[in-house]
Amino acid sequence: MTERVKSLQAIANRRYQLIEVGDLTGGMDLRRSATLLSPNRARRLSNFALTNPGELVVRPGYLRFSTSVNLGNSAIQGGQRVYLGSTSFTRIAWNGAVYRVGDAGSTALDSTAVYSTINSTAIVQFPYDRELVAVLDGANRPRKSTDGVTWTLMGIEAGSSAPTASSLSSGSLSASEFEVAYTYKDRGTGHESNGSTVSTLTMGATGAMEISVSNSTDAQTDAIVLYARNKTAGEAVKRKVSSAAQVGGAGSNSTYRITSSAWSANVEMPTNHNIPGSFRFAVYWKNRWWAADPTVGNRVYFSELFLNQAWPTLFYIDIPFEHGDDITAMIAQGDTLLIFGQSKVYLIIGQTSLDFEVRPSAGAQAGCLGPRAVALIENGVVHAASEGVFIFDGATDKYLGFDIEAGWRDLINNTSQGDLSRVALVYHFPQKELRISVPRLYPTIAAGEWVLDLNRTREQETPAWTTTDRAIGGYILFDGDEPTLGFRGQLLSWHPSTQGTLWSESTGTTANSSNMVANYEGPAFATGIHRARLIDIRGEYQPNPGTFSIEPLVDQVSQGSQGVTIAAGLAVYDTAIYDTDLYAGAGRRMFHVMQPLGAEGRTLQLNLTYSGQVAFRVFTYQMGFVPESRPRNFSE
C-alpha cells in the first residue's frame, strides 16, 4: 500500500527541552541553509583546528621567523628550501634580488643580497636537482648556484670569435689541413659551452700548432677545451684535444700548444649545449629539466639527458590545449609529468628518460590557477582552479570543494587574474593539512586561508574545511633530508603584499606573541511552527587563560555577546602545597548562561569566540528552550 501523508502534531509539550551538540569538528558547509546543517558542521570556523574529533581546539599559532630583519614594505616574490647533494639551504627573492635565509635565530634573514638581477615584480621560482638550483623569473636568463651563495649564468655562451692558429716546427703533427675550435668550461659543474667558430691551418711540414683563445667574460668559466679535426685525413667531426685552465682575466688571451693528432678516440665537440631561455618555472623529472616558455604560452622545453644546463633548440613540446590555455603549472608524479593549463591537464608519460608520450587527461575536470597552486598530497595531486579544488589520481579528478563552493565562487568572481595566479597551496604533512592561501576569504574581503584537515576528512569520508585569518603570499616547506633535529616539516610563509619578512607557521599558541582569535558559527536548530523561548545555554570547556564569549542568535537576531569565565586557575591545585608536578582538578568544566526574556523565535543558533594565547578547547554545548504548546493563528 502506498504510504500516506502524515499530519503534523499541532500540540507540543510545553516543557523544558535541551538540544545538544556533541561534536563541533565536522568542518564547514557553506552550501546548505544553517537549519539544514548536520549538528557537527559549522557555517564558520576560523582559527580552529579539526585535529581531535570531539574537541574544538584553537589551531597552532605562528611566529616571526626572523625577529630583527624586515627587507621592506613589499612582497617576497618567491622562496624555496633547496636540497642539493652536499648541502641544504633556504633562499628567497625580494625586490629583484636573492637573499639568504638561515635556519633559525634573530639574524635568520640576511639583508645583504647574494644576487640582484631578476625582475622586481614577477613570480620567482627556485627549481633544483641534486647538483644545482636556479632562479627563474620569466624575464631574464636563469642564474644558477651550487651553494646558494655564488650565482652565475645557467649555461655558458659559446666563444664569439675563432681561435688564432699558427704553426710551430717542434711537434708530431703531420703536414695536413686542420680545423681548430674551442669551448668554455666550468670545472665546478663540468659543463661546457657549444664550440666556437673554427680556425683553419695548413701545416706544410711536421710540427705543432699554437692556439690563442680570447678569454671568457663569464665568471664561471675557468677552463678552455680545444677541439680539432684533420681534414686531410678525412675526419668528419672535431674531437677533444686538451683541456687547460684559462690564463688571465677577461679581455686577455690564453695560449695553448697542440703537438699531436692522437685524438680519434676522444669525445666530440658539443653542438647541443644551447643556453636556457628566460623560463617562467621548471621542474626536474626523468633526469631532465622541463620549463615553461615565457613567450609561447603552450610550449614546454626540456634539457638534454643528464645535462641540466644544455637546452637543444628543438627539444620542446607544444601542448595542444583546446581552449587556448597557457601553461600555468607543472608537477611530476612518478612516470607522469602533469602539465596544467587554465582549464585542462595534459600528461607527459615516460617509461624511460628517452621515450615520452603526450596524452590529454580525459578524467581531469579543471586546470590550475598558477605555478604555486598545485601540490603532491599522499596518492594524488591537488590543484586549485577557477572551477574549485580538485585531487587528481593519475586518471580522474575528484572535487574537494563542494562544501566551500560559495566561498570559492566569491573568490573567483571578485579577484583579478594576476592575484589568482599567485594563489599558493601546500600540503603540511606534520599537521595533515592542505593549506590554500587566497587574497579574498569568504565571507570577508580580507586575505586568508582555506584549510582541509585530511585526518578528519578520512574519518568522516567528507571533506572537512576550516579557515584562518592569515594573509599569506606563499609557503616554504622543509620536506627533504634535514640533518638537524626538528627541522623536517617546518613551514615558513610570507605576506602577500606589505612585508619583506618570513613567518614560522603552526608554531606555538600565539599570533606572534599576540592573542589568537578563533570563531565558530554553528548550525541553526528549527522548532518548526512552534515558537520557542531560549532559556539558557550550557557548555563544556577546558579551563584556560584568555577570554571566551558566546553569542546566541534567535531567528538570526543576536542576543548580544555574553562573556564566560574560563580561567585556568579553576582547575589546578597549588603544586607547592601538594609537592607534585601536576595535581589535576577538573580538566573539563561546564559554563551556564541564562538568556534574556526576549530570546524567542523558531531557530536557535550559537556563535563562539575565543581570544587568548593557549590551545583552548571547547567540547560540547546545549541550548535549553521551552516551545509554545500550540502554533500561533496569525501571520507575523
Whether cis (ω within 30° of 0) applies to the bond prior to 320 is: no
Residues 480 and 442: their CA atoms lie apart, in Å, by 34
pLDDT bucket at 8, cuts 50 / 70 / 90:
low
| CA 280 centroid distance within chain | 16
Give the per-residue pLDDT at 10.
64
> Is the Cα dihedral 57, 372, 401, 410 positive or negative?
positive
Amino acid, res. 367 = G
Give per-residue pLDDT as tens, 100-133. 999 876 678 888 999 999 999 999 999 999 999 9
Residues 122 and 276: their CA atoms lie apart, in Å, by 18
DSSP structural state of residue 450 = E
Amino acid, res. 133 = V
Overall average pLDDT of the 240-252 stretch: 91
Going by C-alpha positions, the residue among 483, 486, 411, 402 that lies closest to residue 447 is 411
Residues 632 and 4: their CA atoms lie apart, in Å, by 26
Tell me if 230 sits within 8 A of 262, measured CB to CB: no
Mean pLDDT taken over the chain: 92
Beta partners for residue 302, in sequence order: 290
Residues 407 and 547: their CA atoms lie apart, in Å, by 29
Amino acid, res. 246 = Q
pLDDT higher than threshold 80 for residue 621? yes
Percent helix, strand, coil in the chain, to 5, is 5, 40, 55
Contacts of 81 (CB under 8 A, 6+ apart): 88, 89, 90, 476, 477, 478, 479, 480
Amino acid, res. 169 = S
pLDDT bucket at 385, cuts 50 / 70 / 90:
very high
Question: Exposure of 201 by Cβ count < 10 A (0-12 exposed, 13-18 middle, 19+ buried)?
Answer: buried
Contacts of 308 (CB under 8 A, 6+ apart): 129, 131, 132, 284, 288, 289
pLDDT higher than threshold 60 for residue 1? no
SS3 annotation, 210-256: EEEEECCCCCCCCEEEEEEEECCCCCCCCEEEEEEECCCCCCCEEEE
Which residue carries 615516460 as its cell?
350
Overall average pLDDT of the 400-429 stretch: 96
Give per-residue pLDDT as tens, 264-276. 999 999 999 999 9
Percent of the chain past pLDDT 90, that is, above it, reads 83
Give the per-residue pLDDT at 571.
46
Poorest-confidence range of 170-174, 246-250, 455-459?
246-250
Give the per-residue pLDDT at 221.
96
Helix (H, G, I), strand (E, B) or coil at 616: coil
Poorest-confidence range of 137-141, 149-153, 567-571, 626-630?
567-571
Beta partners for residue 143, in sequence order: 135, 153
Residues 636 and 631: their CA atoms lie apart, in Å, by 12
Poorest-confidence range of 66-80, 132-146, 189-203, 433-447?
66-80
Overall average pLDDT of the 584-606 stretch: 88
Question: Exposure of 604 by Cβ count < 10 A (0-12 exposed, 13-18 middle, 19+ buried)?
Answer: buried
Give per-residue pLDDT as tens, 302-329. 999 999 999 999 999 999 998 889 999 9
The DSSP result for 12-75, as a single string, is ---S-EEEEE----S-B--SS-GGGS-TT-BSEEESEE-SSTT-EEEPP-EEESSSS----SS-
The model carries a pTM of: 0.92
Residues 174 and 178: their CA atoms lie apart, in Å, by 10
Instruction: Provide the strand spans (E) within 59-176.
Output: 62-64, 76-83, 88-94, 97-101, 109-115, 133-135, 143-145, 152-153, 164-173
Does 529 or 448 have the greater pLDDT score? 448
Give the per-residue pLDDT at 569.
54
Going by C-alpha positions, the residue among 311, 190, 209 that lies closest to residue 260 is 209
Give per-residue pLDDT as tens, 352-361. 999 999 999 9
Pairing of strands 345-350, 356-360: antiparallel
DSSP structural state of residue 418 = H
Pairing of strands 133-135, 143-145: antiparallel
Cell numbers standing for residue 588: 573539563
Residues 40 and 45: their CA atoms lie apart, in Å, by 12
Overall average pLDDT of the 373-401 stretch: 94
**Spatial strand order in the sheet of 502-505:** 62-64, 502-505, 491-494, 474-477
Residues 331 and 381: their CA atoms lie apart, in Å, by 8
- CA angle (455 as vertex; 623, 104 as ends), nearest 5: 110
Cell numbers standing for residue 561: 555577546
pLDDT higher than threshold 60 for residue 34? yes
pLDDT higher than threshold 50 for residue 338? yes
Cell numbers standing for residue 91: 633562499
